[in-house]
Amino acid sequence: MRQLFLAVCTAFALLAPSAFAHKDAHPGASPQAQAAKPKAVAAGTRDPRAYFTDTQLVNQDGRKVRFYTDMLKDRVVVVNVMYANCKEACPLITRQLTEVKDELGELFGKTVFFVSITSDPVRDTPPALKRFAQEQHADAAGWSFLTGSKENVDGILQRLGALSENVEEHATVLYILDVDNKRMRRMLPNLPPKAIAEAARIIATADKRVASAAAPVRD
């Protein structure tokens, strides 16, 4: 497992994101948009609820949710940014994530959850996200597609370091978050689904491994 984890880290450093990039997100993006490209999640040692906030969003079923309490608390979450009218990167990444879901097996929907946040909240109503999820075979329990007011969505994307100037210039990286335990990493979506699932699994089982290592040896 450790060897695979190191391989994931190496692949993250070496692979280019072009396989899932939007054509018009590079290189003609403005300097402001380039500056808005995702950076490391900046929660640091701050309280995760205070940092990520309980901003109200809406899922694909029209249910109102609080971002930290309902989406992040006590969970490992794989987060990506998408929009429903996308014809290139977003469907590819979503289909890739369905394979990651399958690789996770019983962990998905119990310990590891997926959250897809639209970069186009003005057009992406809950029904539009529902339709997109169904078309990509991603409308599954444990996978939330989120929209809301532009102000609220932009605020969350800014917290993630994923706010872009234009809808099409959104981040295509994946964020694997365990915010309560300050475990966060970014991965390229064109890595093998097994590698992405293993990275999420390592984060999800970190506390169990530590507790096992610390347990006294019994004769």
pLDDT tens, position by position, 161-174: 999 989 998 989 99
Domain ranges for the chain, please list them: 2-206
Residue 25: pLDDT over 70: no
Residue 115: pLDDT over 70: yes
The Cβ of residue 79 has, within 10 Å, a number of other Cβ atoms equal to 25
The rounded mean pLDDT for the chain is 82
Which residue shows structure tokens 């999640």? 41
What's the pLDDT at 126?
A: 98
Q: Which two tokens stand for residue 75?
A: 């969970």
- C-beta separation of 174 from 188 below 8 A: yes
What's the pLDDT at 219?
A: 43
The Cβ of residue 2 has, within 10 Å, a number of other Cβ atoms equal to 7
Superfamily of domain 2-206: Glutaredoxin (3.40.30.10)
What's the pLDDT at 22?
A: 58
Percent with pLDDT over 70 in the chain: 74
N-terminal to C-terminal alpha carbon distance within the chain: 28
Residue 46 confidence class, pLDDT cut points 50, 70, 90: confident
Q: What's the pTM?
A: 0.79
Q: What pLDDT digit, counting tens, does each position of 68-96 carry?
A: 999 999 999 999 999 999 998 999 999 99
- CA nearest 46: which of 164, 189, 179? 179
- C-beta separation of 74 from 162 below 8 A: no
How far apart are the C-alpha atoms of 22 and 206, rounded to whole Å? 34
Residue 21: pLDDT over 70: no
Q: What pLDDT digit, counting tens, does each position of 120-157 carry?
A: 999 999 999 999 999 999 999 999 999 999 999 999 99
